[in-house]
Amino acid sequence: MIQDYEKLVEKISKISGKEEQEITGLVDAKRDKLSGLISREGAAQIVANELGINFDKEQVKIDEIMKGQKNVNTVGKIIKLFPVNNFEKNGRKGKVVNFIVADETGNIRTVLWDANHIKLIENSEIKEGDVVEISNGRLRESELHLSSFSDIKKSDKNIEDVEEDISNEQVFIKDSDVGKNLKTRAVIVQIFDPKFFKVCPNCGKKVERAAEGYECKEHGKMEPKERALLSLVLDDGSDSIRAVMFSEQIEQLGINHNDLKPENFSGKRGEIEGGEFFFIGRVKQNKVFNNTEMLVNNVQEVDIDKLIEELESNEK
């Protein structure tokens, strides 16, 4: 699944034939036009639409599924099938079943809600190890959900080598690998001073200081905008890792641009350090310092009530 902005830009660039830097510039310009009220991923999807790219109509690999995508068409092998569960909510009874579907690029938890789809599982018409074709699924919180408007059927395709590392589930830092996705519940043990850099408001590229002000190679002299980068150290009890995040993820921590000012940051850092969150991103090798680090693309608050429910469920 496309969990980071860089992969999304890479895909748009590949399909459109435009350079990645140009796509990034269009995305930043779109966010500026909307006063930053949209995520980078959301702005990228708008840019894709404006370039005539419609991801909803094509069959995609699992690592190409985009955040918020409403019509997902993919083919994968069921590598883990969970029992059918009964539920009752607001006086309505029903069933739900989860499984992990994978291809050679990744895997994703898939949720079936429609009674006809669930019967396929109950009657063993679709079972663990089968390759299935999914149409009109919807991505919700990193899971692929199938409603009565969706379709699932057994496929004649053969998929041998699949990604069995279930990346959507929590992983300890000590078990993380370079190039793999990482979701970990960790404590922020250290936050470094933020760094800022200037970019062109039109294309989003870094700008150079000129004799008078700043200059973009493409757009000439202009008034740049400032972007922030924040580095921190995370510890989940198994190990620690250095993590980096940009403006959108910094905001998910509850830190706004004003908080990053030197006169305000010391106090804000004291509030955030020691906090526990879910961090989701990708582990990369920092070639400059020759160490591993996590590029964070999403931060989620820890829902204590939900954790208690999960623990109780696992004990049954």
Domains of the chain: 1-53 (no CATH), 67-166 (2.40.50.140), 173-315 (2.40.50.140)
Give the best-scoring range by mean pLDDT among 91-100, 112-121, 207-216: 112-121
Q: What percent of the chain has pLDDT over 70?
A: 90
pTM of the model: 0.49
Identify the CA nearest to 255 among candidates 224, 230, 280. 230
* pLDDT of the residue at 313: 54
Q: Which amino acid is at 146?
A: L
Please identify which residue in the block is written with the tokens 């909803």: 56
Q: Classify each residue of 256-295 as buried b or exposed e, where b means 16 or more C-beta atoms within 10 Å of its C-beta.
A: eeebbeeeebeebbeebeeeebebbbbbeeeeeeeeebbb
Convert the pLDDT of each residue in 109-168 to its tens digit.
Answer: 899 999 999 999 999 999 999 999 999 999 876 789 999 999 999 999 988 888 776 554
Question: What is the mean predicted confidence (pLDDT) over 243-250?
Answer: 88
CA atoms within a 13 Å half-sphere pointing along the CA-CB vector of 71:
7
Asked if the model's pLDDT at residue 243 lies above 90, the reply is yes
Least Cα distance to 243 among 188, 172, 170 occurs for 188
